Amino acid sequence: MPSSKKIDRRIWEHPILEFKRGKEVRFYFEGEEMKGYEGESIAVALYASGIDIFSWTEDNRPRGAFCMIGKCSSCFMVVNGIPNVRTCREPVRDGLRIERQRGLPDIPRVTRDEEGLESKTLETDFLVIGAGPAGLSAALKAAEYGLDVILVEDHFRLGGQLVKQTHKFFGSKDLFGGLRGFQIAEELSKKVSSNPKIKVFLETLAYGVFKDLTIGLASKKGHYKVKAKNILFSTGAYENYLAFPGNDLPGVMGAGGAQTLMNEYGIRPGDKVLTIGAGNVGLIVSYQLLQAGAKVKAIVEAMPQIGGWVVHAAKVRRYGIPIYTRHTIKEVWGNNRVEGATIVQVDEKWQPVPGTEKDIDCDLVIISVGLTPDTKLLAQTGAKMKWIPELGGLVALRTKYMETTVPGVFVAGDAKGIEEATTAIVEGKIAALTAVLRVLGHVDKAVEERRQLVQYLEQYRQSPLLSRSRRGIEKATIES
Amino acid sequence: MGKEMKKHPIIVCRCENVTLEDVEKAIDEGYTDLESLKRKLRIGMGPCQGRTCLPLVIRILARKLRKSPDELLIPTSRPPISPVPMKVFLAEGEDDNEE
């Protein structure tokens, strides 16, 4: 095995991002001393130092970075003797001992140093689960009207996937037009952290829904049962996987995983890239990979035309990146990491056309074939769900005020169906205002504000660019 | 190190190491609903709780049965939605006196 000591995948110069790294820390990976920086997760610090393999399956298949946002299971490792630690969510610190797992881990030895865990029942007007654009906006809006808010987030920082969005937002100033996604995240997070009405639980998992809609929270500090008058599920989404030989090899990564590495942490996810999927995400991530110093060899798209907006496609084409429509990935090869891939043309029935194979020299394959709303927790409330392909799969039916079929249970952002951050911000506010009205009774100002926001969303979605999600929204909306 | 070196399987479920071949074979054997597939193959029962495999398996099954995904019954989501260390449930606090 090559020495990993000299590899540093950190980006030190970037055209638009500046990475503020914390204090240097030293930890041990399988006995070898390694360095990382405060503010990095364990998985990120390892990847930055050239570690591609995070675990081995029982039959010796290597697994590496895949989603990087706490949704998959590919970064589970043994940390200080505790197995199955989700290392993409675990801050790196001095002195940690980290080992890979092979198949099922051993049962950990009982340790006695875990005293001080608390168990509490909490009550609140408004529980918000997920601190992305929808959740942050909702928490702020509810607090503005005097509600007590609890905001829960499994990551160690606020912002959700906004923290890795580097493009400037379109739209009006009050919806952050002109700002880049991560700047919006910074602004919202600062406001939330300094708001005395909002109690923030970071590194906390809302793991289940119980009797009378009590929500169970688990963190390193303890166990909490939250009884809330209103609950917003702003739990985001996870990336769709794609079936092809070698799809589990390290170096095959979700588009969002690559984005997390390069834009949130400043780590180059690979040097030579093949992107699968020419929707907006595939196009934008390909462009961002260029900014991170990688070479993008090709973008393939199975549909006969590019799915993303012309403006994004034009951007990557200016850099000479070929976009192959009616093409798909046939396979990847490599032993412990992607060493190349074969793409192939498909016919009208999506069947590969023999003789059209092309080999692509790459060490990173980005899967960007859509997202699925994360409704795992929401579904436990008993809210009525429906499969709506335009919104990415199974979603909750809800009113235009974002309330599901369970009174007081709300959904907003990608969890209600895949759209983007601007609509998530507006939906979060609409949900919060509805919660305000449920707690305080009739408030003229809240009613009027909500009316305007609902109207804004309706107009925003009239754009032909958004016709698909508009169709989905219509199918998911029920009478209020 | 060439493409001829090693043939890789097509993985559908990363947690439980289930391949596309496993899923298609099970469907052909008559496991034509998600609950049965789950019981036979453990899809959706690993630590990611189906976040990787289920959207794929739903589409594979729908295609094989020539149905639309909304005609399939989706497995029930249950707590915990992600792994939780057992020690959390041993935490002592005010609740012990309350109940």
Task: Dump pLDDT digits (tens) for A28-75.
Answer: 999 999 999 999 999 999 999 999 999 999 999 999 999 999 999 999
pLDDT exceeds 60 at position B1: no
Q: Which residues of chain A make contact with B10, given a CB cutoff of 8 A?
A: 243-245, 247
In 10 A of CB A459, how many CB atoms? 9
A436 confidence band (pLDDT: 50, 70, 90): very high
Q: Say if residue A91 is preceded by a cis peptide, omega within 30 of 0.
A: no
Out of A86, A331, A335, the one facing B1 most closely (by C-beta) is A335
For B66, phi then psi, to 5°, come to 55, 45
- The residue of chain B nearest to residue A111, with distances taken between CA atoms, is B87
Q: Which residues of chain B make contact with A246, given a CB cutoff of 8 A?
A: 8
Helix, strand, or coil (residue A49): coil
- Asked if A375 and A367 count as a contact pair (C-beta separation under 8 A), the reply is no
Report CB contact under 8 Å: A117, B80: no
Question: What is the average pLDDT score of chain B?
Answer: 89
Out of B12, B74, B89, the one facing A243 most closely (by C-beta) is B12
pLDDT digits (tens, 9 = 90+) for A100-139: 999 988 888 766 555 678 999 999 999 999 999 999 999 9
Cα A10 to Cα A219: distance, rounded to the nearest angstrom: 30
In 10 A of CB B98, how many CB atoms? 8
- The residue of chain B nearest to residue A204, with distances taken between CA atoms, is B84
pTM of full prediction above 0.90: yes
B3 confidence band (pLDDT: 50, 70, 90): low
Helices (H), A117-237: 133-144, 181-193
Q: Which CATH class is domain A242-369?
A: alpha beta
Cα A412 to Cα A426: distance, rounded to the nearest angstrom: 9
Give the residue from B90, B22, B91 showing the smallest Cα distance to B61.
Answer: B22
DSSP annotation of B43: T
Out of A73, A249, A335, the one facing B48 most closely (by C-beta) is A73
Separation in Å, CA of A245 to nearest CA in chain B: 4
* Mean of pLDDT values over A233-251: 97
Cα B50 to Cα A261: distance, rounded to the nearest angstrom: 23
Cα A157 to Cα A91: distance, rounded to the nearest angstrom: 10
Q: Which residues of chain B make contact with A70, given a CB cutoff of 8 A?
A: 82
Tokens 């980005």 correspond to A366
B87 confidence band (pLDDT: 50, 70, 90): confident
> Letter for the amino acid at A147?
L
Q: Which residues of chain B make contact with A342, given a CB cutoff of 8 A?
A: 3
Question: What is the average pLDDT score of chain A?
Answer: 95
Task: Dump the DSSP string for A80-134.
Answer: TTEEEEETTSSB--TT-EEE-EESSPPPPPP-S--TT-EEEEEEEEEEEE--SHH
Task: Dump the DSSP string for A328-360.
Answer: EEEEEE-SSS--EEEEEEB-TTS-B-TT--EEE
Cα A333 to Cα A61: distance, rounded to the nearest angstrom: 13
Which domains does chain B show, CATH number per domain?
11-98 (1.10.10.1100)
pLDDT exceeds 80 at position A3: no
Mutate to test the interface with A, among B1, B6, B7, B8 (most CBs of A within 10 A): B8
Report CB contact under 8 Å: B93, A120: yes
Separation in Å, CA of B85 to nearest CA in chain A: 8
pLDDT exceeds 60 at position A258: yes
Out of A59, A86, A119, the one facing B95 most closely (by C-beta) is A119
Report CB contact under 8 Å: B76, A243: no
In 10 A of CB A279, how many CB atoms? 19
Q: Which residues of chain B make contact with A207, given a CB cutoff of 8 A?
A: 79-82, 84
Cα A112 to Cα A7: distance, rounded to the nearest angstrom: 38
Separation in Å, CA of A150 to nearest CA in chain B: 19
Report CB contact under 8 Å: A72, B76: no
Report CB contact under 8 Å: B51, A335: no
Q: Please indicate whether the domains covering A24-102 and A118-238+372-476 agree at the CATH topology level.
A: no
Out of B12, B51, B68, the one facing A72 most closely (by C-beta) is B51
- Asked if A415 and A130 count as a contact pair (C-beta separation under 8 A), the reply is yes
Which pLDDT belongs to residue A170?
81
Helix, strand, or coil (residue B88): helix
Sequence spans of domains, chain A: 24-102, 118-238+372-476, 242-369
Report CB contact under 8 Å: B3, A359: yes
- The residue of chain B nearest to residue A392, with distances taken between CA atoms, is B55
Out of A119, A335, A342, the one facing B92 most closely (by C-beta) is A119
Most confident by average pLDDT, A40-49, A76-85, A306-315, B3-12: A40-49
Host H or E run for residue A422: helix A421-440
Which pLDDT belongs to residue A1?
46
Could you name the CATH architecture of A118-238+372-476?
3-Layer(bba) Sandwich (3.50)
Token pair in block for residue A324: 């192959």
pLDDT exceeds 90 at position B86: no
Give the residue from A326, A312, A235 showing the smallest Cα distance to A281.
Answer: A312
B99 confidence band (pLDDT: 50, 70, 90): very low
Give the residue from A244, A258, A297, A305 showing the smallest Cα distance to A278.
Answer: A305
Report CB contact under 8 Å: A241, B53: yes
CATH number, domain A24-102, options 3.60.15.10, 3.10.20.440, 3.40.50.2300, 1.20.1300.10: 3.10.20.440
Which pLDDT belongs to residue A197?
98
CA torsion, points B28, B30, B35, B39, in degrees to nearest 10? -90
pLDDT exceeds 60 at position A9: yes
Helix, strand, coil shares of chain A as percentages rounded to 5?
30, 30, 45
- The residue of chain A nearest to residue B53, with distances taken between CA atoms, is A241
Out of A219, A331, A386, the one facing B70 most closely (by C-beta) is A386
* Mean of pLDDT values over B48-74: 94
Interface size A-B, in CB pairs within 8 Å, comes to 156
Report CB contact under 8 Å: B79, A210: yes
Cα distances from A90 to residues A77, A269, A351, in angstroms, run 10, 19, 42
* Mean of pLDDT values over B26-55: 95
A461 confidence band (pLDDT: 50, 70, 90): very high
Tokens 């729908």 correspond to B62
Inter-axis angle of helices B53-65 and B34-41, nearest 10? 120
Token pair in block for residue A334: 């490599």
Cα distances from B32 to residues A8, A297, A355, A455, A465, in angstroms, run 48, 40, 35, 44, 37
Q: Which residues of chain A make contact with B60, given a CB cutoff of 8 A?
A: 243
CA A194, distance to chain mean position in Å, is: 24
The strand order across the sheet containing A101-102 reads A62-63, A55-56, A101-102
Mutate to test the interface with B, among A153, A328, A376 (most CBs of B within 10 A): A376
In 10 A of CB A177, how many CB atoms? 12
Separation in Å, CA of A240 to nearest CA in chain B: 7
Q: Which residues of chain B make contact with A154, given a CB cutoff of 8 A?
A: 82
Report CB contact under 8 Å: B70, A387: yes
Q: Which residues of chain B make contact with A352, given a CB cutoff of 8 A?
A: none
Token pair in block for residue B37: 């597939």
Separation in Å, CA of A333 to nearest CA in chain B: 5
Helix, strand, or coil (residue A226): strand
Dihedral over Cα of A340, A346, A351, A357: its sign: negative
Cα A448 to Cα A439: distance, rounded to the nearest angstrom: 17
Tokens 């035309």 correspond to A305
Q: Which residues of chain A make contact with B77, given a CB cutoff of 8 A?
A: 375-377, 379-380
Out of B48, B80, B98, the one facing A208 most closely (by C-beta) is B80
Report CB contact under 8 Å: B3, A223: no
DSSP annotation of A379: G
Dihedral over Cα of A348, A296, A57, A82: its sign: negative
Separation in Å, CA of A414 to nearest CA in chain B: 15
Q: Are strands A82-86 and A409-411 parallel, antiparallel or unpaired?
A: unpaired
Q: Provide the terminal-to-terminal Cα distance of chain B, rounded to the nearest Å.
A: 63
- Asked if A476 and A387 count as a contact pair (C-beta separation under 8 A), the reply is no
